[in-house]
Amino acid sequence: MIALKALLYFNILLLCHGQNTLNISNQNITDPIDEYIERPCEIFDKFCIRQFLAQHSKCKPVDGPVPDPLYRDKTTGYAPHANVTFIPIAVTVSGLNGRIEEFYINRKTDRLLLAVEFTNLYAASPYAYLRYHRRAQEPLVYNDFGSINFTSLVLTITIPNLKDLQLERSEVFAYSPGIPVIILGGRFTAQGVEPEVVRAVADIFANFPITVRELMLNDNPFYIGSYIQYNLCDFGLKLI
C-alpha cells in the first residue's frame, strides 16, 4: 500500500466547462473591494441565497442535504506528467455538506461568486483502474482500490449571466489550506508489475502537487455542483 501526505493544493465534465485551478493556500480568501460588488444575502442565510438563485435562473430551490456518502458511477483523472490515467469505479464521496464562505455578485463582470469550504472530504473507490500510456503501444492496465482525503477544501465557483445564471458555463477554482492524503492499493507496485508503471507511480507521489492538480480537474465541479443542486437550487444538470 502506498500512502503519502504532501504539501499542495490542488468544469462538471459536461457540467462546468470552465477552468479549474489548484493552489496551496494557508490564508483566508480576502474580501474583494469593488464598487460593482453587491452582497444580496448573508453567507449564513441559505433561504435568501436559494431565493436569489431561483429568481435569477430557472433552478428550483432545494433544502438538502447532500447524501452522505454520495454515490458516483465513475470518474476519470488524468496525470499526463506521468503518462497515467486513473478511472475509479463505484466511487463514494463523503463530506459534501460544506459551509458557505462567500457569496456575492459582481455587476461589472456579470457574475455570481459562491465559495464553499468542505471539511474531511473523502472519496474512495474499490476499483480504481490505472492506465499507463505508452508511445505507439496499447496502455498497460492495473486495478486496485484508491482514495483521497482533504481535511479542508475550499471551492470557489463563478457563474455568469446574472439575469439568467448559467451553471453549465461556470468556472471552478480550488484551494486547500490542509494536507490531502492519497492512498493507492499495493497492486500498482506489486512484484511482476512492469518497471515503467512502478516508476510512474513513484513519479505521481514525487510530484504530488502536480498530481493532485491534474487528477482533480473533473472532480471539483462535481463536488460543488452537488452541493448547489442538493442544498441550494436544482439547475437540472446531471452530475457525472
**Average pLDDT estimate for 25-40:** 66
Using the predicted structure, report yes or no on whether residue 14 has a pLDDT greater than 80.
no
- Lowest average pLDDT, out of 23-37, 39-53, 57-71, 196-210, goes to 23-37
Q: Give me the pLDDT at residue 33, please.
A: 59
Q: What does the radius of gyration of the chain's CA atoms come to, in whole angstroms?
A: 19
SS3 of 48, please?
A: helix
pLDDT at 22 over 80: no
**How confident is the model at residue 218, as a pLDDT?**
81
Q: Span 187-195, mean pLDDT? A: 91
User: Are 131 and 87 within 8 A, CB to CB?
Assistant: yes
pLDDT digits (tens, 9 = 90+) for 151-164: 999 999 999 999 99
Residue 69's pLDDT band, with cuts at 50, 70 and 90, is very high
Give tens-digit pLDDT for 78-137.
999 999 999 999 999 999 999 999 999 999 999 999 999 999 999 999 999 999 999 999
CA distances from 154 to 26, 35, 59, 118 (A): 11, 25, 24, 6
Q: How far apart are CA 85 and CA 30, in angstroms?
A: 35
Q: Which amino acid is at 198?
A: V
Domain range annotation of the chain: 2-149+184-234
pLDDT band at 32 (very low <50, low <70, confident <90, very high): low
Its pTM stands at 0.82
